[in-house]
Structures are given as C-alpha cells and as structure tokens.
C-alpha cells in the first residue's frame, strides 16, 4: 500500500536546529587523515585543550609561535572532542586557506566555507550635510552564495561539520527554524503531488525557468521535475508516476550524466530569509503598525518630507512582499519575519549550530577586535537612515551581534595566536603554549639592507630563488606600488603576480594556490605577511 503525504505533514520538521529530526545518516566521527603524527609541543597541547573543553572551560588560549602547527593541533583536538566546530578567521583569504587545510585533514566530514558573498558592496547611506542618498549597490558572488547555503544545510543535516568563516558569521542570517521548517522533502515510493511540490518550491523562493536551469531554479517536463538546489553543484531529477515519486536522480548540470540514484531528496530554501505565508502576513501587519506609528511621529514634529518618503518606500516594499513574498532589502524587515522583539539579537550562523559547539578564533588578537567593532559602525549608519525617513526604526534590528551577545554564545572557545591580546589571556581558564615547531626549525635570520639599489637587489634575489625552485614574497606600501613593481618584473622576464584587496575573493585563493604549485615565482602585495 502506498503512503500518502500532504503539505501539512511537512510541519514536523519545523523544530529547532538542535533536534535530530532529520540528521543525515552519513554523519561519521571526526578522524584526522595526515601522513604526520603530532610532534614537538603538539601532543601536550592537544591533550591540554581537549581536557579543558571536557571539563567545561569556556575560554582557552593556544599561544603558538608562527609555523608551530596550530591548525593541525586544532584538527587533532576536534578529533578528540568530536564537536561541530566554527572557525573564525580575520579575513576571507585566510579563511579559504584554513578551509582547504581542514578539508585535507577531514576528507570524510563536511568542511564548509562561510564569508560575505559580496564582490562589491556599497551600503545604503544618507549624508545629511549634502542631502545625498546613496542607494545600496552590490555584486553577489554566486559561488560564495552557494557555499553559504551549503554551510547552513550541512549544519541542519549532519553532526560532523566544521565551518570556517569570517566575521560575516555574526551578521543577521534569518531564522534557522523558518529555514528548516520550509524545506521540501520528497521520498521514492511516497505520494506527494507534483503540483504540491511545485507550489512548495515557489514558496521557498525557487524560480521556474524552462530554458536555463541554474542554482535556485526548477523546471517541469511532463511528469518530471528538475530542481537545482541553492547549495548543490548537482541537479536533481524527480520522476513521477501519477502522484507518486518514482525515482530521484542526481545529475551533472552540464552533461546531464546521471551521477547516482537517491531514495529521498531534501530541498532547503533558496534564501535564508524565508517565511510561511502566515508569518509573512503577521510580518506585514507588524510593518504596517510600525509605519503608522512612525508617520505620526514624523508628521507631529513637522518632518513632512521624511514622512512622505517613508510612506512611499515602505508601501512599495509591502506590495512586493504581498505579491511575491520578497522585496529588495527584505533583510531590513527581518525582525518581523523572524518574530523577534525590538532590540532582540538577530539570528546568525551561530544559531544554526547545535548546543555545545566548539568555536576557534584564529589570529584572535585581530579577530576579537573585529567582532568588537562591527555593531557600532552599522548602528551609526542606520541611525541617519531612520532619522531622515529612509527606513523604519526596526531596520536597526537587522544588524551584527554586539560583542556581549557574541560572548553569550561563546561557550567552548579556543583563541589561537602567536601574540594573544590581554583580553584573551585574561578570559582564558588556561593558556597552552606551543613553542617547539614539529619541524624543529628556528626563526630565520633577519637581514637589513640599504634602500639604495634595492630593486636591482630584489631582482637578483628573485632570480636566485627561482633557479632553486623557491618562492619570494614582496611587500610594498600601496596597491599601486605592488602593481607597478609586478609590471616591472614581468618586463624583465620574471614570473610575478600581485595580490591586494581589490582582487575578488576566489581569485585571491587561486593566486595563492598557483604560488604553491610554482606557476610563478614572486608574489607582491601590501599585507602579504599579515596574519596567517
């Protein structure tokens, strides 16, 4: 007899992310794969950190000199404690390097990369002195967006997950409960009408496109549904027989080749800001109530222009939400969509983790001040927007966590640094030192040379290193100097590249990878020797 599932049956998955309602059976224990074993100070450091986590130490510091293998030590520590882990890094490039390292350490587990998906971002702002409104402009990197969705989907389906992230992890992301509760689940041999599946896909922000099937889109061909999940690199074909799901195939999106067959398919929303129709209706009522209250305040104080501006902008957003369930800048209404109270912390990546997860702050002397400074900058910009009628006051609740809010969520934390700050050392229940390198190498000799003839000297050094199949890192004072020096070395026939902040995130990762494999000999930049 065939089982029947209707849409209401999906509500059982709308529980919090800490529940195991649909944890993937592919979750496996963390096991480090490495041709090396812990050596130097690593064995003692691993044992001390694991013991500290086990006895409930909230904060610990691993004080390790450069090149002592702190990342490997943390990999072996994760293997010991068997906890889902968030690794925070001070910049995107270092986060990418760490993610690649952890993928090599844990090939059987899920290691994900979570950073800001903007290649270019100009935040919405207003300069009252010149009466200049700057509209939000951004360019989203599609691959990084996929990786962000892959990270949250992994956290809700598996226990063996390591997320390597930037400070983007403390910014608003949308409710994990809503994200989980809105998924579509299809099972072979179970009835789930095709029309109902299509309706659910539209509700969770998937777009129908019969010609160009890309991430976040689906198409229909007779009794066959093809969907490209927002977090996957594969397309899934769902074949129906009547109302019953007959077969689910994973396919290569380019060649159409079948990769494997599945017994079930979980499709998470195409956006992290997703809500049920009832929640949307509640949100719109909340927005309308706040709009009415704010208009009375503005008109009562004689700010008629600001009131008219706010009425037009908010009314347009409400119409878009009513019609399509979404609007540009919908994150500014996240408080209503999430069902939060005024001033309540936003949901972030940290809320997608289960209770008791491990948090590691790499280069903590830089990462901690970064976390500390995010809230104030965001607040000052939005204060001006609200004051002049560009946003409702609730937009200020679309924000990063304050430092204290982040601190409340840091229950098992390890700071990694060669030069930890006073705050980290003061908070730590124990400071574990890692002074002896596994390689036994000592710090290199520092040679100071005069500036006269420095470029000719550099060229000679580069040629010597290149002949020995070695690499050279060169730091300059400005981006322009880095580019000009690169051009000069290229004219001399040397293999050179430059690296700075104007290069896209994933391209930076590729440049660093090319340096390792010897595609070029010298890398020039402004902050090449900075953290990690």
351: pLDDT confidence band, cut at 50, 70 and 90? very high
Using the predicted structure, report yes or no on whether residue 503 has a pLDDT greater than 90.
no
Q: Can you tell me the mean pLDDT for 429-456? A: 86
Reading the block at residue 20, the tokens are 């195991």
Tallying the residues shown for the chain, one arrives at 532
Q: Can you tell me the mean pLDDT for 31-35? A: 95
Give me the helices (H) in 413-524, please. Answer: 422-427, 454-467, 479-491, 505-517
Mean per-residue pLDDT of the chain: 90
How is domain 184-267 classified at the architecture level of CATH? 2-Layer Sandwich (3.30)
**CB within 8 Å of 347: residues ≥ 6 apart:** 172, 173, 174, 175, 176, 338
26: pLDDT confidence band, cut at 50, 70 and 90? low
Lowest mean pLDDT among 310-314, 337-341, 366-370: 337-341
pLDDT at residue 15, as a whole number: 30
Q: Can you tell me the mean pLDDT for 249-262? A: 95
Q: Can you tell me the mean pLDDT for 19-40? A: 77
Residue 131's SS3 state is: coil
As to burial, measured by CB atoms within 10 angstroms (0-12 exposed, 13-18 middle, 19+ buried), residue 76 is: buried
Using the predicted structure, report yes or no on whether residue 17 has a pLDDT greater than 50.
no
Whether residue 181 contacts residue 13, with contact meaning beta carbons closer than 8 Å, is answered with: yes
CATH topology of domain 3-177+331-434: Rossmann fold (3.40.50)
pLDDT at residue 530, as a whole number: 61
Same fold, 3-177+331-434 and 454-525: yes
Per-domain residue ranges of the chain:
3-177+331-434, 184-267, 280-328, 454-525
pLDDT at residue 528, as a whole number: 66
Using the predicted structure, report yes or no on whether residue 5 has a pLDDT greater than 60.
no
pLDDT at residue 262, as a whole number: 96
CA distance 161 to 18: 14
pLDDT at residue 326, as a whole number: 82
Lowest mean pLDDT among 123-132, 303-312, 419-428, 450-459: 123-132
- Supply the angle between the helices 454-467 and 479-491 in degrees, to the nearest 10: 60
**Rounded percentage of the chain residues whose pLDDT exceeds 90:** 72
CATH topology of domain 454-525: Rossmann fold (3.40.50)
Lowest mean pLDDT among 242-251, 401-410, 437-446, 478-487: 437-446
Residue 190's SS3 state is: strand
**CB within 8 Å of 61: residues ≥ 6 apart:** 364, 414, 415, 416, 417, 420, 424, 425, 428, 430, 431, 432
pLDDT at residue 119, as a whole number: 78
Does the reported pTM lie above 0.85?
no
């Amino acid at each position: 007899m065939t089982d029947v599932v209707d849409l209401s049956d999906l509500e059982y998955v709308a529980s919090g992310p800490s529940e195991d309602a649909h944890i993937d059976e592919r979750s496996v224990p963390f096991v480090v794969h490495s041709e090396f074993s812990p050596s130097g100070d690593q064995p003692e450091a691993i044992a001390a950190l694991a013991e500290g986590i086990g006895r409930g130490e909230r904060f610990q510091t691993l004080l390790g000199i450069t090149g002592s293998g702190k990342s490997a030590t943390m990999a072996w520590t994760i293997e010991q404690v068997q906890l889902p882990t968030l690794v925070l890094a001070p910049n995107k490039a270092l986060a990418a390097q760490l993610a690649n390292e952890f993928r090599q350490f844990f090939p059987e587990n899920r290691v994900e990369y979570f950073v800001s998906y903007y290649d270019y971002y100009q935040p919405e702002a207003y300069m009252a002195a010149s009466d200049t409104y700057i509209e939000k402009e951004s360019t989203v990197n599609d691959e990084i967006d996929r990786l962000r969705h892959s990270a949250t989907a992994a956290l809700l389906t598996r226990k063996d997950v390591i997320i390597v992230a930037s400070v983007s992890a403390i910014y608003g992301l949308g409710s994990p409960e809503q994200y989980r509760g809105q998924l579509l689940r299809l099972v072979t041999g179970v009835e789930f009408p095709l029309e109902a599946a299509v309706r659910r896909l539209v509700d969770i922000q998937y777009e129908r496109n019969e010609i160009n099937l890309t991430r976040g889109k689906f198409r229909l061909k007779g009794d066959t549904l093809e969907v490209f999940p927002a977090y996957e690199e594969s397309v899934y074909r769902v074949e129906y027989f009547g109302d019953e799901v007959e077969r689910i195939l994973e396919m290569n999106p380019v060649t159409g080749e079948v990769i494997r067959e599945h017994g079930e398919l979980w499709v998470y929303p195409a956006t992290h800001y997703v809500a049920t129709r009832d929640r949307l209706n509640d949100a719109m009522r909340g927005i309308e109530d706040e709009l009415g209250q704010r208009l009375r305040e503005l008109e009562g104080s004689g700010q008629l222009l600001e009131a008219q501006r706010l009425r037009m902008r908010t009314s347009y957003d409400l119409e878009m939400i009513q019609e399509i369930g979404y609007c540009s800048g919908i994150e500014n209404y996240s408080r209503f969509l999430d069902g939060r109270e005024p001033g309540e912390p936003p949901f972030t990546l940290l809320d997608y983790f289960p209770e008791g997860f491990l948090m590691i702050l790499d280069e903590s002397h830089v990462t901690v001040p970064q976390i500390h400074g995010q809230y104030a900058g965001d607040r000052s910009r939005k204060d001006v927007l609200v004051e002049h009628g560009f946003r409702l006051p609730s937009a200020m609740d679309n924000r990063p966590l304050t430092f204290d809010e982040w601190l409340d969520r840091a229950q098992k934390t390890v700071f990694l640094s060669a030069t930890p700050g006073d705050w980290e050392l003061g908070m730590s229940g124990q400071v574990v030192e890692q002074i002896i390198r596994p390689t036994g190498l000592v710090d290199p000799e520092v040679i100071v040379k005069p500036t006269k003839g420095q470029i000719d000297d550099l060229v000679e050094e580069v040629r010597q290193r290149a002949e020995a199949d070695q690499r050279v890192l060169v730091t300059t004072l400005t981006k322009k100097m880095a580019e000009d020096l690169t051009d000069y070395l290229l004219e001399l026939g040397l293999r050179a590249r430059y690296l700075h902040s104007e290069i896209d995130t994933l391209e930076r990762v590729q440049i660093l990878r090319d340096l390792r494999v010897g595609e070029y000999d010298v890398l020039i930049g402004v902050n090449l020797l900075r953290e990690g």
